[in-house]
Structure 1
């Protein structure tokens, strides 16, 4: 059986694609002179009429401009920004868009009417488990869990508050206080609580860090909500546990 051998000339001299995928462009200028072995079709540049030379240059320039526009694309248009207005400088500030929706605030406000949650907040007089920053983190977690507003129940409030204390408090006492209030001395319900907590964190994509700035933005949505008055710094020094959650970046 005959074996096909590619032509050596076509393999050596065929144009090879560049790294960008385009074949290299061959540019011919009028001031270049071919080598001794290359024949010249027009030995005298004076034999061309000025009109022919000008026509060729114009055609080349037009083709190059079209090719450059095709490869590079159109130039970006200028964007005008107001620098000043009647001599007063206008300063623009980049503002972060909060991921917390109004529905998450409404869910939180609805759960505050739950009698068990009300009793819990009244029981935590020293705000060791439920100060305003930890409660703001509950709303942040609601926004990240991705549940429908009607799906949130009392247990989700305590799970989110447990996570907030786990993230911001160095002591295990606040988390034990949540169990003590919910289940007393019984430990039978704790495995189920931790199972639900794991599922809740997983639904958040393990994003449990909440910055102090985000907590303050959450509180500013409805600054007159009564739970935002739960400020540890306003308590007597002997009743404080700490000054609030640590600021995170």
Structure 2
């Protein structure tokens, strides 16, 4: 193959805009041969008008659906030159059973002692605890499978995601393992498996946290608000 042929084969399928903006490419329909206005032609025209009306109705429904979803977050699915394809980020619904799991684990003696210790809410304010419930929902375990270790795995991960100061979360190890360092590598292995079980879907929005808290607004841990600390 000559250099000229290679150069032509490597050319992009479209020319980028010099304006620097993303381009929306719309493929126009190719007109077919004209149809005589016979009885069959009238039937064809009528069918065509019906298809247009149906297409218009479908387009209107799609626009209404898109308009109703404008407030939802979107992810970039793929990029091709200046073309960008978007996909809607899946909004996970937290089932009541995961709220019940969370409340059950709040009665665990180690969890209770840990929350009582964190008086300044450096590791376990209401938003970080809301993320624990979100992670329980995403991990895909049965509700009866969640144990104390899962609570601390989720809370540790929530601190990974949201907190700039990473030092306070290290105290989780003291409540789990005391002064021993031997089991910390196992904890990090379990944390990695926990993240994988969620499909690396670890980001939780403020709106999701507030929805989780609104499910049972009188639950005592939702009073763990940093803004109320002098």
Q: Quick check: TM above 0.5? A: yes
Q: Does 2:36 match 1:25?
A: no
Q: How does 1:62-77 map to 2 (within 5 A)?
A: 62-68=42-48, 72=52, 74=54, 76=57
Counterpart of 1:59?
Answer: 39
Counterpart of 2:163?
Answer: 169
Structure 1: any 5+ residue segments left out of the alignment?
Answer: 1-18, 29-56, 80-91, 237-249
- More strand as a share of residues: 2
Counterpart of 2:79?
Answer: none
Shift, 1:117, TM fit: 0.8
Distance in 1, Cα, partners of 2:229 & 2:95: 31
In structure 2, do the counterparts of structure 1 residues 95 and 226 end up closer, same or farther at CA, with 3 Å as the change threshold?
Answer: farther
Structure 2: any 5+ residue segments left out of the alignment?
Answer: 1-26, 62-67, 73-90
Shift, 1:65, TM fit: 2.3
Calculate the TM-score normalised by the size of structure 1. 0.62
Counterpart of 1:3?
Answer: none
Shift, 1:231, TM fit: 1.2
Alignment RMSD, CA only?
3.1
User: 166-175 vs 57-66, which deviates more?
Assistant: 57-66
Select the structure of larger CA radius of gyration: 1
Shift, 1:26, TM fit: 4.7
In structure 2, do the counterparts of structure 1 residues 198 and 59 end up closer, same or farther at CA, with 3 Å as the change threshold?
Answer: same
Counterpart of 1:145?
Answer: 139
Shift, 1:185, TM fit: 2.3
In structure 2, do the counterparts of structure 1 residues 98 and 197 end up closer, same or farther at CA, with 3 Å as the change threshold?
Answer: closer
Shift, 1:63, TM fit: 3.1
Q: How does 1:43-54 map to 2 (within 5 A)?
A: none
Counterpart of 2:19?
Answer: none
In structure 2, do the counterparts of structure 1 residues 74 and 99 end up closer, same or farther at CA, with 3 Å as the change threshold?
Answer: same
Among residues 146, 151, 158, which one is paired with 1:157 in the alignment? 151
Aligned residues: 178
